[in-house]
């Protein structure tokens, strides 16, 4: 919500550039066609980013740690059990102390107010790695993946190079294709990932159709909806309780766990509330989704919200999205503006 569509576009282009420039490091021979090493700029050299995580994480943590390393810096993982925060020290004091030694803080917190307090008192930038209300870095990876796969939604779009060797050794930067406006259905709980979709997708030209149970606790909280309205996104959002109605005309179907971190005690109640909300082939066929619909999920996934046929099937973009967590987070970490050139530069070790 804090980024304009233009700024989102810059982050995505930057992420795509970093992905292409970094690929030689991920290939066995680590060389490009001219037999020269190519590496991303070492813009985090001698810099540290604190990963202040009070909740579990696989993707966000691994993305952040590997991204910081590729940029020549260091990510310092500070889990709940490791530091004084919350037991012997206040958020305010921890923010000042950690910010006095690191150049950035990437924080995964419980209540959203915790990250606001961190940002208020930290002398260095604070990035949200997930809070009760928002999960902005997830949605950047979703958007990058959709743009990279624009050809799946529009036959007139040329597919991007997918062979990793060709991709890594290219002298030219493969820019992101234009994505046509999509109808995106979200079936499930109104949680952090959906909330970031609500404030970004409509501003990028996409329509959202959401289905969640009628009870207020499964609908967007006031703080989120106020932001949606403030950004003028509400006019492109349809919200009902019928999953079949939500997937009508959908090019993309998205869901998330019904039991977010911290809601484990509500498991039985939530499984009951979301009966009939599982994403399946039958649901999307009967609801009248675009026959070519694709599927996304932020992960970690349980079978309740989506069955194996969809999750592991050809419609699924879930693993390309999880790969893209790294490049999008890396783009946020890089202090310099994204390159404007279309030529890939060779670096030296």
Among all residues, which ones are annotated catalytic?
A: 298
Cα dihedral: 125, 127, 337, 31 (round 10): 120
- The nearer residue to ligand NVA, 75 or 298, going by C-beta atoms, is 298
Contact between 215 and 273 (Cβ < 8 Å): yes
Which residue, 22 or 328, is less far from ligand CP as judged by CB? 328
Position among 20, 190, 260, 324 found at the interface with ligand NVA (CB under 6 A): 260
**Per CB under 6 A, 257 contacts ligand NVA:** yes
Residues 72-131 that bind ligand NVA (CB under 6 A): none
Checking 301-305 for CB contacts under 8 A at 24+ apart, the result is 301/257, 302/257, 302/258, 302/259, 304/257, 304/258, 304/271, 304/274, 304/278, 305/187, 305/188, 305/255, 305/256, 305/257, 305/258, 305/274, 305/277, 305/278, 305/279
Beta-carbon neighbour count of residue 90 at 10 Å?
A: 13
Binding mask 18-57 for ligand CP (x = CB under 6 A): ---------------------------------------x
The answer to the question of residue 256 lying near ligand NVA (CB under 6 A) is yes
Rounded least distance, CB 10 to ligand NVA, Å: 25
Is the Cβ of residue 168 or residue 210 nearer to ligand NVA in the bound state?
Answer: 210
Task: Looking at residues 286 to 305 of the shown chain, list those that interact with ligand CP (rule: CB under 6 A).
Answer: 298-300
344 binds, among ligand CP, ligand NVA, none (CB under 5 to 8 A by kind): none
Q: Which one, 86 or 300, has the nearer CB to ligand CP?
A: 300
The H or E element containing residue 273 is helix 267-273
Q: Where along the sequence are the contacts to ligand CP (CB under 6 A)?
A: 57-60, 130, 138, 298-300
């Amino acid at each position: 919500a804090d980024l304009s569509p233009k700024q989102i576009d810059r982050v995505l282009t930057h992420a795509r550039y970093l992905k292409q420039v970094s690929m030689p490091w991920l290939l066995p021979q680590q060389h490009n066609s001219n037999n020269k090493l190519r590496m991303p700029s070492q813009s985090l050299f001698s810099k540290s980013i604190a990963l202040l995580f009070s909740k579990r994480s696989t993707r966000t943590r691994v993305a952040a740690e590997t991204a910081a390393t590729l940029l020549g810096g260091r990510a310092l993982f500070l889990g709940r059990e490791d530091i004084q925060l919350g037991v012997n020290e206040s958020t305010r004091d921890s923010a000042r102390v950690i910010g006095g030694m690191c150049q950035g803080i990437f924080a995964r917190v419980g209540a959203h107010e915790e990250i606001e307090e961190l940002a208020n008192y930290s002398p260095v930038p604070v990035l949200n790695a997930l809070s009760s209300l928002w999960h902005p870095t997830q949605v950047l990876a979703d958007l990058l993946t959709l743009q990279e796969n624009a050809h799946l939604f529009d036959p007139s779009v040329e597919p991007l190079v997918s062979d990793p060797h060709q991709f890594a050794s290219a002298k030219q930067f493969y820019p992101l294709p234009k994505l046509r406006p999509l109808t995106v259905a979200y079936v499930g709980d109104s949680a952090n990932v959906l909330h970031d979709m609500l404030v970004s997708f409509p501003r990028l030209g996409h329509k959202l159709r959401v289905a969640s149970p009628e009870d207020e606790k499964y609908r967007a909280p006031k703080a989120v909806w106020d932001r949606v309205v403030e950004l003028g996104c509400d006019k492109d959002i349809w919200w009902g309780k019928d999953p079949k109605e939500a997937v009508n005309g959908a090019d993309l179907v998205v869901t998330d766990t019904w039991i977010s971190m911290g809601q484990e005690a509500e498991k039985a109640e939530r499984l009951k509330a979301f009966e009939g909300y599982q994403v399946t082939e039958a649901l999307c066929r009967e609801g009248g989704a675009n026959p070519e619909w694709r599927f996304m999920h932020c992960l970690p996934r349980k079978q309740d919200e989506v069955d194996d046929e969809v999750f592991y099937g050809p419609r699924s973009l879930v693993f390309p999205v999880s790969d893209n967590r790294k490049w999008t987070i890396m783009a946020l970490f890089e202090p310099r503006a994204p390159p404007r050139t279309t030529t890939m530069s060779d670096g030296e070790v």
